[in-house]
Amino acid sequence: MTTNNRRHRRPAPTLTPTAPALATRAPRALLALLSLAVAGCAHIPQDSAPLPQRDVAGASLAADIRLAHDGWPAARWWTGYGDPQLDALMAQALASAPSLEVAAAHIGSAHAALDTSSAALGVELDGHADVNRQRYSGTGLFPAPIGGSYFTEENVRLEARYHFDWWGKNRAQIAAAVGDLNAQRASYAQAEQALAAAIAQTYFRLQGTWARLDNTNGQIAIQTALVQDQAKRMAHGLATSDSAHAAEAELAQLRKQQAQLQADAGAAREALRALLGADASALTGLKPRALTATPHALPAQLGMELLARRPDLQAARWQVQAALSQTEAVQAAFYPDINLSAAIGLDSISYQHLLQSASRTLYLAPTLNLPLFDSKRLNAQLASARSQRDEKIAAYNQAVVQAVREVAQDSLALQGMEQQLARQQEATQAANAQLRSVQARAAHGLADRRSELSAQLALLRQQDSALALTHAQVQAEVALTQALGGGYRNEAASAAANEGTNAAVNAAATTH
């Protein structure tokens, strides 16, 4: 229902009913209007095929997807890696990252929309004062001495308007605004989750590149020694040029790998700086740091907890709630609109008499709007609202399926990493055992320096593979943490929004 905002027009003094008369006629007028309202309701089209909403309680993973540990990520999951540098980067990013500014602006817009919808409930009270000078027609409605004369009129009045929310249209609009506000809050949390995951993955990629670069430098030093040893053997006729060329080609390949890792480290550093929205000097103090192993987590069962943990699912669910409420608000437009306006004040053609009791005025105006014929405009608006509702439900259903798929894929990737790391550990242990054997034989003069250098190089290569797999595992852990919602909780935000909204709605209900 809409509020009647037409400007009060003062009737002629001789035609103004007295206050007792108005008080007697008002209830009868309201009763008559209400009777017409009930009889004048427009027909609401049938909702033929509403889209069913997916039951998230049925969401589950395959039985064979299990990891070494069960549990959910903590809200500040990155602190589990025990890296002060990472903690500082997260604090800086979550405090002032540019990617969060848009989400914060959306929350502000949703707050303003909620305030606008809440303002529609309650009484509007306005004060007015005006002075006008007018010449009345000598041949018009008023005869002489009013007709043909000039009069200055002073008017002071207090106007009140009340919107009767009989059909719950305003309440539905408030509920829709609350749903949108909660959706924006969940979207902000999702933006934080995405930012934290991107920073962690970029930081670990940089640290992994640095670790592999250090390993490559070690391989280059050993390969250089092998090339020098090969040159000495050739000088004494103990080796051919083919073996020398092969050693030099291997050294060139390692230097190529070194250049690639240096470029990758620079790219990761710039990507991290961009995520922070910082200047070129922001990461000058960043140092290489060994990775601290941390157990990953995967819940044994995925049901309602998945809905509660993922902010993107929360946002989609609140958008569905907002669309359902908006549909109710549009449907309420099929019912009659009843408003009440009233004004009291003082009116006089002489300012000396303005404050006298005889100058008082009273105005009471109940209004009724019946949607009798509108060329199917209301039907089109309701069909549009229902279509938007179905779109939100479809998006929510898709988000549920997408969430389970992401968790399953990230879990399987992490399982694969675990198996590869177990085999890689065996290969590294074998290379380490071979090096110890060669060193023991060299101590007794049973192995030359070339054999010892080759064993050291083989161990470094296995360690390089282990570094690559370890940091790939960390990337998969971060992806899984994000897929599980990253410890997101929305109960406090939702309760705060609902508390304020319920207070406004209950206040209006008390007035009724």
pLDDT at 20: 46
Instruction: Give me the residue spans of the domains in the chain.
Output: 51-121+167-334+377-500, 124-164+337-370
One-letter amino acid of 144: A
Let me know: does 94 contact 195? Beta carbons within 8 Å. Answer: yes
Higher pLDDT, 119 or 134: 134
Rounded CA separation 337/166 (Å): 8
Rounded CA separation 110/87 (Å): 31
Rounded CA separation 424/432 (Å): 12
pLDDT digits (tens, 9 = 90+) for 450-465: 888 999 999 999 999 9
What DSSP letter does each residue of 10-36 carry, written as one string?
Answer: PPPGGGPPPHHHHHHHHHHHHHHHHHH
| Residue 106 confidence (pLDDT) above 80 | no
Confidence of residue 125 (pLDDT cuts 50, 70, 90): confident
Burial class (CB in 10 A: 0-12, 13-18, 19+), 364: middle
pLDDT at 430: 95
Q: How far is CA 353 from CA 136, 154, 225, 346, 362, in A?
A: 20, 10, 114, 10, 17
Nearest-CA neighbor of 312 among 483, 180, 176, 197?
A: 483
Let me know: does 367 contact 32? Beta carbons within 8 Å. Answer: no
| Residue 323 confidence (pLDDT) above 80 | yes
| Residue 14 confidence (pLDDT) above 60 | no
Winning range, highest mean pLDDT, from 13-22, 86-95, 297-306: 86-95
Confidence of residue 509 (pLDDT cuts 50, 70, 90): very low
pLDDT digits (tens, 9 = 90+) for 231-253: 887 777 776 777 888 889 999 99
Confidence of residue 446 (pLDDT cuts 50, 70, 90): confident
Higher pLDDT, 75 or 6: 75
3-class DSSP string for 362-385: EEEEEEEECCCCCCCHHHHHHHHH
Of all residues in the chain, the percent with pLDDT exceeding 90 is 19
Q: What is the mean pLDDT of residues 311-315?
A: 85
Q: Which of 183-192, 320-329, 403-412, 502-511 has the lowest mean pLDDT?
A: 502-511
Neighbours of 100 (CB within 10 A): 18
- Per the prediction, the chain carries an average pLDDT of 76
Helical segments of 120-168, H only:
none
pLDDT digits (tens, 9 = 90+) for 402-445: 888 888 888 888 888 888 998 999 999 999 999 999 999 888 88
Q: What is the mean pLDDT of residues 305-317?
A: 78
Q: What is the mean pLDDT of residues 35-42?
A: 50
Burial class (CB in 10 A: 0-12, 13-18, 19+), 451: middle
Q: What is the mean pLDDT of residues 11-15?
A: 39
pLDDT at 271: 92
Structure tokens at 414: 């992490």
pLDDT at 275: 87
Q: How far is CA 385 from CA 44, 47, 331, 361, 492, in A?
A: 13, 11, 9, 45, 30
Higher pLDDT, 16 or 316: 316
Cα three-residue angle 165-128-346, rounded to 5 degrees: 105
Of all residues in the chain, the percent with pLDDT exceeding 70 is 74
| Residue 280 confidence (pLDDT) above 50 | yes
Task: Kindly give the interhelix angle for 169-235 and 491-511, rounded to the nearest 10 degrees.
Answer: 170
CA atoms within 13 A on the CB side of 341: 15
**3-class secondary structure, 343:** strand
pLDDT at 51: 62
Burial class (CB in 10 A: 0-12, 13-18, 19+), 461: middle
Q: What is the mean pLDDT of residues 353-379?
A: 76
Let me know: does 243 contact 488? Beta carbons within 8 Å. Answer: no
Q: How far is CA 354 from CA 10, 146, 151, 157, 369, in A?
A: 15, 18, 14, 11, 36
pLDDT digits (tens, 9 = 90+) for 293-305: 665 555 656 566 6
CATH number for 124-164+337-370 (one of 2.20.200.10, 1.10.3720.10, 3.50.50.60, 2.30.31.70): it is 2.20.200.10
Instruction: For the domain made up of 51-121+167-334+377-500, give the CATH fold.
Output: Outer membrane efflux proteins (OEP) (1.20.1600)
Q: What is the mean pLDDT of residues 376-382?
A: 82
Rounded CA separation 252/259 (Å): 11
Q: What is the mean pLDDT of residues 254-272?
A: 94
Rounded CA separation 278/430 (Å): 45
pLDDT at 180: 81
Rounded CA separation 503/226 (Å): 80
Beta strands in 214-355 (DSSP E): 337-348
One-letter amino acid of 499: E
How many residues make up the chain in this entry?
512
| Residue 466 confidence (pLDDT) above 80 | yes
Confidence of residue 315 (pLDDT cuts 50, 70, 90): confident
pLDDT at 54: 55
pLDDT digits (tens, 9 = 90+) for 52-67: 655 544 555 555 544 4
| Residue 10 confidence (pLDDT) above 60 | no
pLDDT at 434: 92
Rounded CA separation 228/247 (Å): 9
Q: Residue 163: enclosing H or E segment and its boundaries? A: strand 150-163
Rounded to two decimals, the pTM is 0.69
